[in-house]
Amino acid sequence: MKATGVVVEYNPFHNGHYYHLQETKKQTNADCVIAVMSGNFLQRGEPALLSKWKRTKMALLGGADIVIELPYAFATSHAPRFAFGSIFLLQALGAESFCFGSESGDISVFTKTHDSLDSQQADYQLNIRNVMSDGLSYPAAAAKAFEALNTPLPLDLSKPNNILGFEYIRASRELGNVLKPLTIKRKNADYHDVVLGKGNIASATAIREALFSKDLSKAENYMPAFTYDLMVEDQQEKGTLMNWERFFPLLRYQLLSSSPSEINSYYEVEEGLEYRMIEAIKSSDSFNTFMTLLKTKRYTWTRLQRACLHVLNKIKKEEMHQLLETPPAYIRVLGMTEKGQKYLSSVKKSLEFPLVTTVSKHDLPGLRMEARTSLVYAQGALVNKLSAEKEEFNTPPVIVK
């Protein structure tokens, strides 16, 4: 069987994602689509609206055949490590290609950009580090780093999906260029759009804005019916869609009950940020207020959210560095279709890494971190907390027939 891969978060799964999956199948003519999906916490430093299990079901109903989990360490890291972990897992599971959405929509532009930069990688990486030290986001820093090389490049690397695609291809080259890269042009909505537009495709950002207005029906036209039904179901089960405000009391407790040195020990808390966090939290009655007080030109909103996420989950620098210095050590299956089951059966004996379907049967550092952070995620539920806590250990892979 021929497999292709996609890297996703599905927060939530919407019509643009459905289009991407269908076009991926057309472009690759693959028998099986493998989705590498972030778990309960996401790359922008946010809790997912719905648990990984609900989002896995959305993915399978939307056209994916296998959903595997991108471990917390990679899922909540900056673009290069996020991309590396994702592409590594797709390659480890035997995919022949991967397909991503981009503002460009032209894969040759990505490969030409990489080719032109091969001889300037050292300067490029140095430029990125220098620019990011001024507090710019990774996409903005990458774009400025390219400008500093004075080399005309065909790819617009100020666009978030272009920069992620660029990192996917770089990771693939680093891993031996085994997977064939393909890209599909994003339709209609811009990544940063915050308002629902005409038609039935909108950005995930705009859809989340509408969802947080407390009226799910405002976003109903922009997502498949199964997504809307699962969101209504989740809201009834947990009393809320997850967001940072649900976790603010826990974050506030962590910051007020910890010493500056303890806070500094957490990943991405650097350069005295711990003192600013302690002072800001004393004057904050909401996460949004806290972030507004915390924000400076030096740190992007995303970078600060990720730091808050690691404080919330008590993720120490040493353990994160250890996990990020090596590739993921396992392949965790969150769900599959019958076609996905058939594919896994065909490759299972040739896999070099453990295929995890039951967490309790394995003792691996990455899985231990996943279990810890999932217990924290469960605390965001307004109702049925105990049930939510058991999900990580008791939920078998989702099967969609």
Residue 3's SS3 state is: strand
* Dist. CA 306–CA 44, nearest whole Å: 7
368 pLDDT higher than 80: yes
Assign domain 3-103+159-189+329-400 to its CATH architecture. 3-Layer(aba) Sandwich (3.40)
Single-letter amino acid code for the residue at 329: A
Residue 114 marked in a binding site? no
Task: Give residue-wise pLDDT tens across range 316-343.
Answer: 999 999 999 999 999 999 999 999 999 9
Q: Is 20 annotated as a binding residue?
A: yes
168 appears as a binding residue in the annotation: no
d(CA 58, CA 71): 19
**Higher-scoring residue by pLDDT: 154, 12:** 12
In the chain, list all ranges with CATH 3.40.50.620.
3-103+159-189+329-400
- Is 15 annotated among the ligand-binding residues? yes
Q: Is 110 within any annotated ligand binding site?
A: no
The tens digit of pLDDT for each residue in 191-234 reads: 455 556 566 887 788 888 887 766 778 888 999 999 999 988 88
| Mean of pLDDT values over 268-285 | 96
Known binder of ligand: residue 8? Answer: yes
Query: What pLDDT, on the 0 to 100 scale, is given for residue 135?
Result: 63
13 has binding-site annotation: yes
Q: Is 372 annotated as a binding residue?
A: no
pLDDT recorded at residue 195: 55
d(CA 308, CA 329): 26
Give the residues across from 182 on adjacent strands: 99
Check whether 14 is labelled as a binding-site residue. yes
Using alpha carbons, list the distances in angstroms from residue 352 to 93, 177, 329, 331. 9, 18, 9, 10
Peptide bond into 154 cis (omega under 30): no
Is 40 part of any known ligand binding site?
no
- The stretch 31-52 carries a mean pLDDT of 96
In DSSP terms, which residues pair with 356 in a beta bridge? 332
Task: Kindly write down the DSSP assignment for every residue of 140-171, as one continuous string.
Answer: HHHHHHHHHTT---SS-TTSHHHHHHHHHHHH
Quick: pLDDT tens for 153-202.
778 877 888 889 999 999 999 999 999 999 999 876 454 555 565 668 87
pLDDT (0 to 100) of residue 326: 94
pLDDT confidence bin for 116, thresholds 50/70/90 = confident
Do the annotations mark residue 7 as ligand-binding? yes
Consult the annotation and say whether 209 binds a ligand: no
Q: Please state the rounded mean pLDDT for residues 116-127.
A: 77
